Amino acid sequence: MRRALAALLLLLALSPAGAQAAPPTLREIVLTGSRSASVEMTFPDRFSPHLGIAHPDGVAATTRGTYAGVWFENVRDARWSQGRVVVPAMGDALPIAWGGSDREDFSLPAGRYRVHLVADGPSTVRVRVGGLARTTRLSPTRPSDVRGRLVKVTAVTADIPVLVKPTTTTVMAASTQNEPSLGAAISMCLDEGRELPCEAGQGFGMTVAFFAPGLWSRTMATYIVYPGTVASGEHTARYKVASGTPTATLYAFALSLL
């Protein structure tokens, strides 16, 4: 009797019901191409692209251009759109991501999406996705109206012209190298082109990040201007190192998702 009971307990321990459930496996979406383009894809269930700061390793990109990334655009409801771009020259101390939350459990609703490769040169982008049935490889071919520009200056300010339309999301990011022992602060704003234009560090749309050297290899900040925030037309993205050495190298990046 004891032998039979022991055999039964061993069988239960080895069975799927008796074993501890394994965590769900993350799948990937892999995009390849040489320019910004999209392809439509249906997601039958809620899914979680790992794009925000809660998932620093959620996106990996290799590119022969200046930037590469991914953008999920809900076909029916633009509010459910998320993306992230990698700019190798600026490093990855802070993910350049937009749309939605940085919570680990944030997800997008089921539905049809345009999955965009965001790039200005031959690139491969891998994004981890929770809730995906299998790893999916895409080579988007429908051109996307995405415009990005990176400038590098040995100065404390930089300007980049950007075009804004009613549906445009503008992604701004900046980083400094060779920051002093006390670190540096970066501010950004989007000039609305009025009689009193914004000044980086004050006025419209300022954002500031302060990171201590030793903890971060660079000081980096991001700022997102969503549709309807500013009037359509030509604007200027303005960047300023609000504190730190005046000889620091400043990288300024602007991406317009038109």
pLDDT score at 227: 82
Q: What is the pLDDT of residues 115-138, one digit of tens each?
A: 999 999 999 999 999 888 899 999
**Mean of per-residue pLDDT scores for the chain:** 77
Q: What is the pLDDT of residues 170-224, one digit of tens each?
A: 888 888 765 444 556 778 888 866 555 566 544 333 344 444 455 444 677 788 8
Q: Which residue has the higher pLDDT, 140 or 106?
A: 140
CB of 191 closer than 8 Å to CB of 240: no
Distance, CA of 2 to CA of 112 (rounded, Å): 58
C-alpha 109, offset from chain centre: 19
**Token pair of 13, please?**
């321990």
Q: Which residue has the higher pLDDT, 218 or 147?
A: 147
| DSSP strand pairing (142-143 vs 208-211) | unpaired
pTM: 0.79
